[in-house]
């Protein structure tokens, strides 16, 4: 079984307890807070938001409060994550979830003013194809808020030592972004997580 397939199976098994895992407090909540703050300053009134690799929908539930007029969609490759996200939605929520991989997003071109990918990029089976799909669904002037561990500093050596090729170095990401017509407009660190995000 390929590594991304194993990841999907692992996340399917993890879905019911995912929101209670200590990684939420240590990594995901701080990362999501920084992303939402950056998104609000970059795109203050998005019409449509997509979360690629939405998991149980925590980021979108927070985005629903922050962006009350936006359409909100989430996709995840793990069906059990999608089912859990749907099950915990409050009544009257505007969020919709569906199973889909980053490499084949089920949306027309130029739909989203804001796309989030939070700590999921390293799980994508084909990162280049996923980047191309994000670029395809972004509306003109839209922003992709990507947060993941990018191998730099000491992490480059750890990556090489343990053959963690799914955590790209910046020099590997830039050509993929360029090929999709995207460019990095800024970077932010996450307190407590370090500069690897």
Over the stretch 1-48, which tens digit does the pLDDT of each residue have? 456 677 778 776 766 777 666 665 667 788 888 899 999 999 999 999
- Tens of pLDDT, residue by residue over 74-105, are 999 999 989 999 999 999 999 999 999 999 99
What is the extent of the structural domain holding 10?
Answer: 3-179
Coil vs helix vs strand at 22: helix
Q: Which residues pair with 75 in a beta bridge?
A: 52, 98
* Count of other CB atoms within 10 angstroms of residue 175: 10
Query: Buried (b) or exposed (e) across 98-119, using 16+ Cβ within 10 A?
Result: bebbbbebebeeebbbbbbbbb
Q: Which two tokens stand for residue 38?
A: 């950056």
Domain assignment present for 56: yes
Q: Residues 75, 99: contact at Cβ < 8 Å?
A: yes
Looking at per-residue confidence, does 145 or 123 come out higher? 145
User: Which pairing describes strands 48-52 and 71-76: parallel, antiparallel, or unpaired?
Assistant: parallel
> Which of left, alpha, beta for 192 (phi over 0: left; psi -120 to 50: alpha)?
left
Domain membership of residue 118 (yes or no) is yes
Predicted confidence (pLDDT) per residue in 140-192, tens digit: 999 999 987 765 665 555 545 555 556 677 778 889 999 999 999 988 777 66
Q: 197 in a domain, yes or no?
A: no
CATH number for the domain harbouring residue 65:
3.40.50.150
The total of structural domains in the chain comes to 1
Torsions phi, psi of 19, nearest 5? -65, -20
pLDDT band of 195, cuts 50, 70, 90: very low
What span, in angstroms and rounded, lies between the C-alpha atoms of 169 and 196?
10
Residue 15 is assigned to a structural domain of this protein: yes
Instruction: Read off the pTM.
Output: 0.84
> Is the residue at 164 inside a domain?
yes
pLDDT band at 196 (very low <50, low <70, confident <90, very high): very low
Separation CA 129–CA 142 (nearest Å): 19
Tokens (6 digits) for 149: 């561990």
* Residue 22 contacts residue 138 (beta carbons within 8 Å): no
| Rounded CA separation 151/52 (Å) | 21
Residue 167 has a pLDDT of: 67
- Cα 46 to Cα 143: distance, rounded to the nearest angstrom: 10
Q: In this structure, is residue 140 part of a structural domain?
A: yes
Domain assignment present for 194: no
User: Is residue 107 domain-resident?
Assistant: yes
């Amino acid at each position: 079984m390929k590594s991304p397939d194993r990841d999907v199976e692992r996340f399917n098994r993890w879905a019911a307890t995912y929101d209670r895992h200590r990684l939420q407090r240590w990594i995901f909540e701080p990362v999501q807070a920084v992303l939402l703050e950056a998104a609000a300053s970059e795109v203050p009134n998005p019409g449509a938001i997509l979360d690629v690799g939405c998991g149980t929908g925590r980021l979108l539930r927070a985005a629903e409060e922050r962006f009350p007029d936006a359409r909100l969609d989430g996709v995840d490759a793990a069906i059990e994550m999608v089912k859990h996200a749907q099950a915990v939605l409050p009544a009257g929520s505007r969020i919709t979830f569906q199973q889909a991989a980053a490499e084949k997003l089920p949306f027309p071109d130029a739909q989203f003013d804001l796309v989030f990918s939070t700590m999921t990029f390293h799980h994508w089976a084909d990162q280049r194809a996923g980047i191309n799909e994000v670029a395809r669904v972004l509306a003109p002037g839209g922003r992709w808020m990507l947060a993941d561990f990018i191998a730099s500093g000491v992490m480059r050596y750890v990556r090489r030592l343990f053959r963690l090729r799914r955590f790209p170095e910046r020099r590997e990401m830039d050509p993929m972004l360029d090929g999709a017509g995207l460019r990095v407009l800024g970077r932010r660190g996450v307190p407590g997580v370090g500069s690897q995000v």
